[in-house]
C-alpha cells in the first residue's frame, strides 16, 4: 500500500534499536512504548525517543492499559514519561487496550473514559490501539469512542476489520515482520509494521519530510597499469 506512510511500533522487546537502520528502511513514523499499568516503565523508552529524534522520525508514545489499576494512577504513570522527554508541542499518546484483567465491559468503559478525559484535559485527544476481537469483548459501547483516532490491529488481512465503535482507521498494524533487523531491531527480533494515513499526522499537526532516495552513482572502472620511467617500474590503479 504505497498510499500510506510506513510505521513501526517498538518497546524493550526489540532490544536496543538501531534507528539509523530504521530510517534507512523507510520508516516515517514510530510509536514508542512508555509505560504500563500502575508504575511499569519501559527500560528502552528514553533511548528509543532519543534515536527517533536523532534521525528525525516523528513519533508518538503509548501506555499499556491494565484494567485493575485506577485510571488516575495510570494517568500519573504515563505523564511522568511524557514530561521526562521534554515535549514541546503535544505528541500523540496511544492507549493500548488488549488485555483483560477482570472488570466487566461496563466497568472497563467507565475507567477508560476517565483515563481519556484526564489525557484530554492535560495534553491532547489520545489515540486508541486495539483489535475488534479484544475491544468488542472487553469494552462496552460509548458514543464518544468514535471521536478518538483508531490504531487498529489486524494482521495479514487485505483490509482491517474495525472494532464496533469505529467506522474508519488512522493507523493499521497490519503485520509482524520477522526480519526486525532490517528495521533496526536488535538481533533480528520481531517488529510490528503499520500503515499510517497522512491524515493522522495532520490531525496532530506533525510534519513529515519525505527525503528523496539518492540516485545511484555510476561506478568508475578500475584499470591496473604498469609504467616504466627511466628503468623504474610504477604499478597502480587508474580510473576513467
Average pLDDT over residues 77-92: 90
Answer whether residue 103 is part of any domain.
Answer: yes
More confident residue, 236 or 17: 17
| Lowest-confidence pick of 12-21, 22-31, 81-90, 186-195 | 81-90
Computed over every residue of the chain, the mean pLDDT equals 89
| CATH number of the CATH domain containing 89 | 3.20.20.80
The three-point CA angle 68-74-77 to 5° equals 140
Percent of the chain with pLDDT over 70: 85
Residue-level pLDDT at 217: 46
Average pLDDT over residues 165-172: 98
Cα–Cα distance, 86 to 24 (Å, whole number): 26
| The pLDDT of residue 210 is above 60 | no
Answer whether residue 240 is part of any domain.
Answer: no
Answer whether residue 201 is part of any domain.
Answer: yes
DSSP annotation of 180 reads G
Total structural domains within the chain: 1
| Lowest-confidence pick of 51-60, 125-134, 151-160, 228-237 | 228-237
Say which residues have a Cβ less than 8 Å from residue 203's Cβ, sequence separation at least 6: 149, 170
Answer whether residue 231 is part of any domain.
Answer: no
Average pLDDT over residues 168-172: 98
Answer whether residue 87 is part of any domain.
Answer: yes
Length of the chain: 240
Cα–Cα distance, 204 to 235 (Å, whole number): 62
Phi/psi of residue 216, nearest 5 degrees = -65, 140
Residue-level pLDDT at 231: 60
Answer whether residue 104 is part of any domain.
Answer: yes
Domain span at 25: 5-213
Residue 212 binned pLDDT confidence (cut-offs 50, 70, 90): very low
Answer whether residue 223 is part of any domain.
Answer: no
Express each pLDDT in 104-118 by its tens digit.
Answer: 999 999 999 999 999
Express each pLDDT in 18-43 by its tens digit.
Answer: 999 999 999 999 999 999 999 999 99
Answer whether residue 74 is part of any domain.
Answer: yes
More confident residue, 208 or 126: 126
Cell numbers at 106, concatenated:
461496563
Amino acid at each position: 500500500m504505497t498510499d500510506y506512510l510506513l510505521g513501526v511500533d517498538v518497546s524493550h522487546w526489540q532490544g536496543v534499536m538501531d534507528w539509523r537502520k530504521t530510517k534507512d528502511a523507510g520508516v516515517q513514523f514510530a510509536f514508542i512504548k512508555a509505560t504500563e499499568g500502575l508504575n511499569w516503565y519501559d527500560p528502552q523508552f528514553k533511548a528509543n525517543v532519543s534515536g527517533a529524534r536523532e534521525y528525525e522520525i516523528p513519533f508518538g508514545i503509548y501506555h499499556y492499559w491494565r484494567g485493575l489499576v485506577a485510571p488516575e494512577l495510570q494517568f500519573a504513570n504515563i505523564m511522568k514519561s511524557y514530561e521526562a522527554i521534554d515535549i514541546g508541542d503535544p505528541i500523540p499518546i496511544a492507549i493500548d487496550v488488549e488485555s483483560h484483567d477482570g472488570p466487566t465491559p461496563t466497568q472497563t468503559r467507565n475507567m477508560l473514559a476517565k483515563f481519556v478525559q484526564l489525557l484530554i484535559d492535560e495534553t491532547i485527544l489520545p489515540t486508541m490501539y486495539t483489535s475488534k476481537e479484544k475491544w468488542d469483548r472487553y469494552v462496552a459501547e460509548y458514543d464518544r469512542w468514535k471521536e478518538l483516532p483508531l490504531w487498529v490491529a489486524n494482521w495479514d488481512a487485505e483490509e482491517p476489520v474495525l472494532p464496533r465503535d469505529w467506522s474508519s482507521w488512522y493507523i493499521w498494524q497490519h503485520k509482524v515482520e520477522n526480519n526486525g533487523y532490517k528495521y533496526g531491531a536488535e538481533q533480528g527480533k520481531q517488529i510490528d509494521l503499520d500503515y499510517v494515513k497522512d491524515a493522522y499526522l495532520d490531525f496532530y499537526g506533525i510534519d513529515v519530510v519525505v527525503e528523496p532516495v539518492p540516485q545511484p552513482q555510476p561506478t568508475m572502472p578500475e584499470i591496473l597499469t604498469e609504467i616504466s620511467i627511466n628503468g623504474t617500474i610504477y604499478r597502480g590503479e587508474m580510473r576513467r
